[in-house]
Amino acid sequence: MAPVAQFRSVVVDCPEPLELARFYAAIGGGAPQEADADWVVLQVPGGPRVAFQRAPGLTPPEWPRSDRNAQQFHLDFDAGATWAEMDAAHEKVLALGARVLDEEDKEKKDFVVYADLAGHPFCLCRIDS
């Protein structure tokens, strides 16, 4: 079946688009391209185009609750194949301002869930090499 359209972007609502684009650029690479104060695009090298759109008064999801402000999406990042690489990535995202939402059973699940600066969940994942 032929596609109807070509995939363009994942768009993330947030209070401060440039700040959040810089946060994700520090994690996944690329450089934010500011169209205006309300719209910033980040082309992740070898990955998707992520746009950040100003949403004043955004109420972030309460992860992992699904009954109120349910998670609408999350981003996954491969953080390495070893626990040393995962631990190093963990320290770096915390230094950028992320906060841990769930690291229970991380060795069994091979991922840790964090909140970004706007409260959106994202994961650092351990990948098998």
User: 58 pLDDT band (50/70/90 cuts)?
Assistant: confident
pLDDT at 124 (0 to 100): 93
Residues of the chain with CATH 3.10.180.10: 59-129
**Residue range(s) occupied by CATH 3.30.720.120 in the chain:** 1-56
Question: Does domain 59-129 sit in CATH 3.40.50.12780?
Answer: no
Classify domain 1-56 by CATH architecture.
2-Layer Sandwich (3.30)
Token digits of residue 120: 């959106």
Which of the two residues, 57 and 117, has the higher pLDDT score? 117
For residue 118, the model assigns a pLDDT of: 93
> Between residues 70 and 87, which one has the greater pLDDT?
87
